[in-house]
Each structure stands twice: as structure tokens, then as C-alpha cells.
Amino acid sequence: MGLSDLRESVSGIKGADYADLYASKGISHSARYDDGRMDTISSSQYEGLGLRVLIGENSVYSHAMGTRMSDADSAIKDAAGMSGLSIAPCGDGASLFEDRELTLPPVETGFLRELDASLRAGCAYLKQLTFRFRSSRKLVMVIRGDGKLVRDDRVYTSFAVSVVAERDGRVETGYEARSLKIGLDDFWTAFDGEGPNSPEGIAAAALERALKMLDARPCPAGTMTVLLDGSAGGAMIHEACGHGLEADIVQKDFSAFRDKIDSQVASPIVTIIDDATLPGRWGSYAFDDEGSPAARNVLVKDGVLRSYMTDIFSARRGNLPVTGNGRRESYLDIPMPRMSNTFVSPGTSSFGEMLSGMESGLLVRKMGGGEVNPTSGDFVFQVTEGYLVENGRIGPLVKGATLAGNGPETLFGVAAVGSELTLDSGMCGKSGQGVPVTDGQPAMLIKSLTVGGADAGNAA
């Protein structure tokens, strides 16, 4: 018995509205160099599978450690017991991956000691320096309820630098990272010219941010015009808008964008896209974790809401098209609608035009973490690098700034969109699952946001 028997078992479950089996096996290598010494070098491997059965509004999910036919048989028996459905057994001892060897070159760490020494020798204020270097590879197989079998081979690489600088008792931090769905051989040369793409450049950018913050003054508080540089990252679009466009959030009535399809939800110059097909990007894939092809989905077009992001379950439930956004962290988890590479499409304004038109306000170069209420769209984000603007000129660097507002209202308040798109990577958490994503935007001029500051007594 082989894969054909397993496909028949999954597609032939009587009484189920849909079923699929997800199998994966992965390997990873990581290194952490901290405070002048190699702190950790580790490697890990895993394999497992999960069987999902949809029955009306309910789902049954069973999983097993391992990717042999006997493991699939175990998951089938568990699913049959939980659902009360008859599911045909499939298995002998053969591997779903046909015993395909999973290999991955180790990360190179020899340069870290020299880079650490070089940075410390050049800066008396550098107190702590941490490098994290990780590569991973995951083989994915999905057997769908329609009998289709798909495979994906995903290789990821990430390098990150954290810096702590101290001067006269004042401590500031800096962080810079590069994460791509690309192997080690091409990692440092991919997307040349798109920000720092060497270990030295990434470390220098993190250190420079920490050192600059040592001279930052407290940020005043008040309602301001805000210019988000492309380098600020797409955190606001991802958190304040993106999650509200995931169909399961909409269907639970937790989204400010519920019942807004074909309605104006943003300024006419705003177009938002989620595109899992972008080559080499951290959130890309050939097929999602339900076996649906990756797609470029226009979520908002010229300010009008056109689509939600769906998985198979939410698409069936809401009579919506399947958009290829069904994602999961591992075989232990059920899939759900998730973003992939989400960004605001470039506009026509230059950064200089937007800056020169500001009488006063805040220029945000880098965003930090924040909190969002997807039901209302209200958000608060930290600003890790921001500058006051006066009469179209960049003024002093400030610290302690936060941005507060409402996602839908902010989209309507976008007055200009820049012509150059910048993309940034990260891990997105939802319902206890983390998946790699990319967010981005060009520079955007927002008419009015509430700026919270460390100097609340001196509002701008």
C-alpha cells in the first residue's frame, strides 16, 4: 500500500464535508554569539502529520509523530474515533516522503568573533552585542480531500543583531535583522541594494541606532501629522489592518472590516496586497498548508475593500473564494487564515515632497511592538526611531514616542503614498501559532495621529 491508498482514504471519507492530511519533516541549525563568546550552537529535526476532517461547522483534528504510513493509519484511527465516521486504513511501514534524506548546510560562525571584536574596538559605548544566525528547511506534503497531492520545499535563513549601548548611565538598544526564504548560498547576495545585506552592514545599522538614541530628547505628546518612512516597516498595516482582513476574524465578528466588501475603507490612494508568490520573501510559499496555490490577492483597491484572506474552512463557511492563505505553524496545528507578504502598493509621491509639505509633525524611521484591538481597530505602537519635523525639515531625534489611533480611520487619513516600497520580515503570532511573514509599505503621510511621548507636558 502506498500514497495512492492514502489519497483514497482521505478523499473517500463518507459523511465528511472535507478532509485533508498535512505531513512535514524539518531540520534547523542555529547559533547564538553573545557578549564575546559562542553561547549556543544547536540543531534539531522533527517529522509528523495531521489529519483534519470538516463536518459542517465542526472540525476534527488528529496528529501523529512520524511520517510513515503506519503513522497516518494511527491518525486515521484517532480521527475516526472522534468523528464517528468510517475511514479506510491505509498503511504499512513506507514513508510518505519515500525516505527522502533531509539535508541542510550548517550556519557559518567563524566570522562572528572577528565582527564582535571589530565593533567593540570601534565603540567605547557598546556594552552588549548579540548575534543570532539560523537556517531551516521544511518539506511539506498535503493530500487534499479532492484527491490532489502537493509538495513544497521551504528553506529559510535569518541573521539578527541586538546591541546595547551605554553612556553616562543612559542605556539604549538597537536591533537589525535580515530574514529570507533563501538558502545560505544566496542569502547575503539576494536583493542587493535593499538595505544592509552583509553581516557588517546589519551590525553597523543596529549599533548606529543604539548610539543615536543616546542623544535623543523626550518626545512631546499631542495630535500630529505623521510621516511613516518605508524603513518604519509594515507593522501598522499588518496589525491595525491585516488581521482584520483575515476571514476567520471577520466571521467571528471581531473585525472592523466586517460586511465592508465593495465599500470604501481607505483613502483612494491606498491599495493593500497580500502576495505569497514573491520570490525569496520570508512569507512566501508555492502552496499554503492546505495545498492551495500561493496567490497575489488584492485586499483593498484604490481604497475599496475587495477581498478577505481565507483558508478552506472560512471560504466554505462564508461562500468566499479560497485565497491560498491557509497556514499553520506545524503538523500539531490546524490551519487558519494568515497573512503572507502584506504591503501597501507604491504611489506617486516622493519622500522629499511629503516631507517639505509638513509644517510640523513626526517622522518615523522605525517602529517597534504594539497592541491592537481588531474588533474596533484601535492601536498603539512604539516608535523606536523618530524625529520631529518643523517647516519641512527633519529636526531632533526623540525617544519615548508612541502612535495611537484607529486602523480604518488611519487608512482614510493617508494623504500621500511614496513611490518606493520597502519590505521587512518578522514572525506573526495568532492563536498560539507563529508563522513567517513579510510586511511593507512605501513612505506614507498620515494627516493626524495621536502621539504619546515621554515629555507629555510639552505637546507639539
Q: Are residues 206 and 250 in the same domain?
A: no
Q: How far apart are CA 261 and CA 299, in angstroms?
A: 10
**Is residue 271's pLDDT more than 70?**
yes
Q: How far apart are CA 105 and CA 120, in angstroms?
A: 29
Domain end: 189, 213, 237, which one? 213
Give Cβ neighbours of residue 454 (< 8 Å, ≥ 6 apart).
Answer: 218, 219, 398, 399, 400, 401
Where residue 117 sits, what CATH number does that domain have?
3.30.2290.10
Q: Which residues of 241-270 are buried (b: 16+ CB within 10 A; e: fewer)?
A: bbbbbbbbbbbeebbbbeebeeeebbbebb
Pairing relation of β-strands 422-430 and 433-441? Answer: antiparallel
Query: What would the mean pLDDT of 120-126 be, rounded to a whole number?
Result: 95
State residue 224's pLDDT score: 96
Domain end: 169, 193, 213, which one? 213
Is 263 within the bounds of a domain? yes
State residue 371's pLDDT score: 85
Q: pLDDT, tens digit, for every residue of 59-101?
A: 999 999 999 999 999 999 999 999 998 888 876 778 898 877 8
Q: Lowest mean pLDDT of 13-22, 86-95, 196-205, 240-249, name the range.
A: 86-95
Q: Are residues 209 and 223 in the same domain?
A: no
Q: Are residues 110 and 68 in the same domain?
A: yes
Q: pLDDT, tens digit, for every residue of 231-264?
A: 998 888 898 899 999 999 999 999 999 999 999 9
**Is residue 456's pLDDT more than 70?**
no
Q: pTM, whole model, 2 decimals?
A: 0.94
Q: Are residues 264 and 181 in the same domain?
A: no
**Is residue 433's pLDDT more than 50?**
yes
Q: How far apart are CA 58 and CA 365, in angstroms?
A: 45
pLDDT grade for 455, boundaries at 50, 70 and 90:
low
How many domains would you assign to the chain? Answer: 2
Is 79 within the bounds of a domain? yes
Q: 422: closest CA among 356, 361, 366?
A: 366
Q: How far apart are CA 351 and CA 394, in angstroms?
A: 12
The boundaries of the domain holding residue 52 are 3-213
pLDDT grade for 445, boundaries at 50, 70 and 90:
very high
Rounded alpha-carbon distances, angstroms, from residue 369 to 372, 426, 428 = 10, 11, 12
Q: Are residues 230 and 195 in the same domain?
A: no
Q: Are residues 80 and 151 in the same domain?
A: yes
User: Which grid cell is 147?
Assistant: 484527491
State residue 373's pLDDT score: 87
**Is residue 374's pLDDT more than 90?**
no
Q: pLDDT, tens digit, for every residue of 315-367?
A: 999 999 999 999 999 999 999 999 999 999 999 999 999 999 999 999 999 99
Q: Are residues 244 and 358 in the same domain?
A: yes
Q: Are residues 254 and 135 in the same domain?
A: no
Q: How far apart are CA 200 and CA 43, in angstroms?
A: 25
Is 460 within the bounds of a domain? no
Query: What would the mean pLDDT of 28-48 be, rounded to a whole number?
Result: 95
pLDDT grade for 121, boundaries at 50, 70 and 90:
very high
Q: 450: closest CA among 440, 459, 441, 442?
A: 459
State residue 1's pLDDT score: 55
pLDDT grade for 459, boundaries at 50, 70 and 90:
very low
Q: pLDDT, tens digit, for every residue of 148-171?
A: 999 999 999 999 999 999 999 999
Is 457 within the bounds of a domain? no
User: Which grid cell is 423?
Assistant: 519590505
State residue 103's pLDDT score: 92
**Is residue 435's pLDDT more than 70?**
yes
State residue 339's pLDDT score: 98
Is 170 within the bounds of a domain? yes
Mean pLDDT of the chain: 93
State residue 185's pLDDT score: 93
State residue 391's pLDDT score: 96
Is 223 within the bounds of a domain? yes
Is 390 within the bounds of a domain? yes
Provide the percentage of residues in the chain whose pLDDT is more than 70: 98
Q: Are residues 91 and 188 in the same domain?
A: yes
Q: How far apart are CA 248 and CA 244, in angstroms?
A: 9
Provide the percentage of residues in the chain whose pLDDT is more than 90: 82
Q: Are residues 54 and 202 in the same domain?
A: yes
Is 459 within the bounds of a domain? no
**Is residue 190's pLDDT more than 50?**
yes
**DSSP, residue by residue, 68-101:** BHHHHHHHHHHHHHHH--------SS-BTTTT--
Neighbour tally for 123: CB within 10 Å: 16
Domain end: 160, 183, 213, which one? 213
State residue 458's pLDDT score: 46
- Is 311 within 8 Å of 336 (Cβ atoms)? yes
Q: Are residues 141 and 284 in the same domain?
A: no
Q: Are residues 258 and 326 in the same domain?
A: yes
